[in-house]
Chain A
Amino acid sequence: MGQIVLNKVQKKFDDVEVIPPLDLTIEDGEFAVFVGPSGCGKSTLLRLIAGLEDVTSGSIQINGRESSDIPPAKRGLSMVFQSYALYPHMSVRKNIAFPLRMAKLDKAEIKSRVENAAAVLNLTDYLDRRPGQLSGGQRQRVAIGRAIVREPSAFLFDEPLSNLDAALRVGMRLEISELHKRLDTTMVYVTHDQVEAMTMADKIVVLNAGVIEQVGSPLDLYHNPKNTFVAGFIGSPKMNLMTGEVAEKAGAQTLGVRPEHIAVSDSAGEWSGVVGVSEHLGSDSFFHIHETGLAETITVRADGEVNFKHGDQIFLTPRTDMMHKFDGGGNRIV
């Protein structure tokens, strides 16, 4: 019941085309993540779905119903904003109840739904506080509470975690994922953080300059990036992209290999270089290798125990089955 279909959706601000016509289908119950660098149009796309912006042309279908001319509230969607957008003059209870009040539900029904949502989100003790008295994480939960009480056919999240600190972000990420599992409702989630995209999504939509670069499951994108943009954007640390002789030998313009797909050795290997900065995370070690003749820096991942010092000679061996070849246009060679 929560299928969203975009058909040739285009958006212009004045004369600037921020989103060229694009097609996209988000299936019912799916967790779709729009990811891309800032200014890539991902938030605009979400706002088009929400109805907060009007499409310039094309159509948006929600639950099989043509919705591009329907006002936001009638689309059956809930949205969680980056700034949470809580009503500062209302208590938490009133904030959560607001959409129900607008829908003119009866008082008893509102009360039970609000208390239900508060219980799910651990907000029961805070119902009578104002948003100003809450921490960032609690505010975020109130915003989610306001979204779930409406029982929408889909949730829209606009970078909901970007105002939280790192530790809270990981926690909230899990909570949202769990919420998705429990409600089994379509969620559309916008973020610039590829880790959030990889960990939460059923389907990732990579956007760049208003254009969909690739749509697929996290692992699909990881293993089969369609072009150098997706290859560089998905995965951390970034995929090493090499040009020149080594790429030509493989029959490509650009050759890519991920840091985790390169074996290191102090004695022998296919490539050689000098260790620059090393980063030890305990579980893993990352080495930034210079003077390889392949690219300015090659990043490799090794086990946490492996230790090289700055200036050490090092040998690298890539896994050939994990190499990615791209043509002159940056597109994947199959």
Chain B
Amino acid sequence: MAPAVILLLGWMLVPLTATLYFSFKKYLPLRGDSLENGLEWVGFQNYTRFVGSSSFWPSVQTTLIIVGSVLVITVILGVLLALLLDQPMWGQGIVRILIISPFFVMPTVSGLVWKNMFMDPINGILAHLFRFFGAEPLQWLSQASLQSIVLIVSWQWLPFATLILLTAIQSLDSEQLEASEMDGAPALSRFWHIILPHLGRAITVVILIQTIFLLSVFAEIFVTTAGAFGTKTLTYLIFQRVLESQNVGLGSAGGVYAIILANIVAIFLMRIVGKNLDR
């Protein structure tokens, strides 16, 4: 296993060390700072400035709201949809294909399509729909910006959750359900006591994989609001500091914060997953 482990270790450690190094330096490439001329040591100044900026806490909050809401929405809707799809029906194969499709759409495309063709306040489909019912069309990406992002991202990840949960439901031993039916358990308690616990592992996997990808949601914001209207996640804030304002020191300090946040989430998740994946 050595090559894979060493490569990953290098991939993790080298840039991490560099980020740590930059985070203690004043590094503004546009103002002539460069590695060759030596960088000025500024101690924890970047760190205090990054936290001190008025955008910091809102961005952490935004990140957690997006991750949390998308997880809740996709898991709950995923379970319901999986239950529905598990029933006998005509054309199940085609319905599966319809539902899995958003997973294949690249984030930049789904961001743009939703932004323009659906959420455009004049020509978007949703605007047409609102007007049809006599309501004033919503300025989605400015008035309900965060909700819009959550909607777009949930749309992308719902297929993933649904199909994993569907596979899990289909693997449930039908004798178990029949036994509980014989025991007189009504449908709802069958769901609570048998189906839901059976889905535990699958839900864990859904949460784990989605969290990994959701923490770094980027393109959807990049092409829709570009971080405006309270949709600036931590990732996006750092991106702006580093690439837009070209303040590498400050951005690197932000990167370290992001890594810490991700690690807190990771430790939580790994605990649960480690436990849940034991056989």
**In the complex, is A directly touching B at CB under 8 Å?**
no
